Chain A
Amino acid sequence: MFDPYRVREDFPILKRKVNNHPLIYFDNAATSQKPRQVIEAMKEFYEQHNANVHRAVHMLSLEATELYEEAHEEVAEFIGAEGIEEIVFVRGATEAINLVAYSWGLHNLGREDEVVVTLMEHHSNIVPWEILSKIKGFKVKYVDLNSDGTLNYESFKEMLTPKVKLVCVAHVSNVTGVVNDVKALTKLAHENGALVLVDGAQSVPHMQVNVRDLDCDFLAFSGHKMLGPTGIGVLYAKKEILEGMEPFHGGGEMIREVSFNPETRRCTISWNTLPWKFEAGTPDVGGAVGLTAAVRYLRSLGMENVKAHECDLTEYALKRLEECSKVMVYGPRDVGLKCGIIPFNVEGFNSHDVALFLDSYGIMVRSGLHCAQPLHQKFNISSSVRASFYIYNTREEIDRFIDALKEIEESL
């Protein structure tokens, strides 16, 4: 039985008071809080096992290497990948997408090609493609949205010309929480000969994501949004695609051999095996240890329970928000179409005013564009407040949030 009150006991930060009020953390789409299991795993690593990984013979390096590789195994199992060869550790979802852009896109996209993205993407799934398009000359096409912020699947189908080589789509919108049917989109893209990159930053922490079921070619996500530390994230890619890709960064760890030829006075370089070919330099071993603990924590809860809890909170919050006549909620109201993210504005106040007001009651929400300006343009708004829920949030916290919103409304 999933019990958020039991879960809360694992999160030391939730005992804090902010502005003399108990902390209510509704900024989970930006980053999640960390359970003591993650904090202690990282502390134990640095106190007992810290060393650089790979290519050393001493005990600490062996222990660190085992922990680091174990993290890849844990993540592979969590998302249903075939093995650690398909799991590349990066700094976060942004770096994962940039890795695909520069290791795959730079070598596989040309003037005649097209890349399809959607208008609901986070800037991290727009900007790399616009930058690369200036270098390579391919066209970036944007799939339109319906008025409620859901993806227009007809628009998507119309864009799938034979020129499309890559489709980049968020699994879950970081603004509206809309869940895209990436399995269906992937099927359509593959039938058209295009590869599919899924931005899983807002899905992997909140629902069961299985890459074999989705059949996506790339999946990018961040550790810090799923209870892990900042600074570590994951690029999943199908093994055969990774094998054909050029490295992203060059340096130590990612090579098998760098051999100097005295006659040509050049070095001949061969790459390391997967996934290390894409992990140049000393990796974030401590972060990987924290990510292992985070994944184990989520698995112990059960992702179906995580999703159900967030759906319950979202449904409850949307219902209670109906009591606030001056609050405008954006995106679909049907929790079957979305995850635990609610964007809104309060008439008469801009988003930062609302966030600052809620902050005075110890309620943490985000305000602004949430790195998704095109989506805000679609809604014809200059910014929004975003409340986003996770495993440790409760209905009582939503009640306090609604009380605070009513207070701001009454002041008008």
Chain B
Amino acid sequence: MNANLNEYVARMEEACGEERDIIVHFKYEKKDEAIGRILKKVKIDRAVAGVIFDLTYKGLPIRLYNTGKVVIKNVKDKNHAWSILAELLL
């Protein structure tokens, strides 16, 4: 895995349930920087209560939380999610 991306990502998990979304937790001290980098590259489709930001990147729905979590939907697996994050963050 990319060492630079590890600076931002604390944990990546597959969601429990039939929707096999990938949930990414950013490191607490880097979450604001990570959110800022993503929002520079992708425009917001919808904001919910200043907490959730819905984005679309390369056709993939991404839900970004101001608490430093990201849900990436419709990805094939964790590697796919990792490559998407690398494009957004690096």
What is A's interface to B at a CB cutoff of 8 Å? Answer: 19, 350-353, 356-357, 359-361, 367-369, 376, 382-383, 407-408, 410-411
Which one of A357, A376, A408 has the greatest number of beta carbons of chain B within 10 Å?
A: A357
Roughly how many angstroms separate A356 CA and B46 CA in the complex, as a whole number? 16
Please, which residues of chain B bring their CB within 8 A of the CB of A351?
17
Q: Which of A352, A361, A369 contacts B71 (CB 8 A)?
A: A352
Please, which residues of chain A bring their CB within 8 A of the CB of B21?
350, 352
What is B's interface to A at a CB cutoff of 8 Å? Answer: 15-19, 21, 23, 46, 48-49, 51-52, 63, 65-67, 69, 71
11 A-B pairs whose Cβ atoms sit less than 8 Å apart in the complex? A352-B71, A356-B65, A356-B67, A357-B48, A357-B49, A357-B52, A359-B69, A360-B65, A368-B16, A411-B48, A411-B52
Please, which residues of chain A bring their CB within 8 A of the CB of B63?
353, 356
| In the complex with contacts A353-B52, A411-B48, A382-B19 CB distance below 8 A | yes
Q: Which of A352, A360, A368, A369 contacts B67 (CB 8 A)?
A: A360
Contact B48 A350 (CB under 8 A): no
Contact A367 B17 (CB under 8 A): yes
In angstroms, how far is the closest chain B Cβ from the Cβ of A23?
Answer: 14
In angstroms, how far is the closest chain A Cβ from the Cβ of B46?
Answer: 8
Contact B49 A383 (CB under 8 A): no
Contact B18 A383 (CB under 8 A): yes
Whose C-beta in chain B lies nearest to the C-beta of A412?
B48
| In the complex with contacts A408-B48, A411-B49, A383-B69 CB distance below 8 A | no
Which one of A353, A357, A359, A383 has the greatest number of beta carbons of chain B within 10 Å?
A: A353
In angstroms, how far is the closest chain B Cβ from the Cβ of A408?
Answer: 7
Whose C-beta in chain B lies nearest to the C-beta of A370?
B16
In angstroms, how far is the closest chain A Cβ from the Cβ of B10?
Answer: 14
| In the complex with contacts A407-B49, A408-B49, A19-B67 CB distance below 8 A | yes
Please, which residues of chain B bring their CB within 8 A of the CB of A367?
15-17
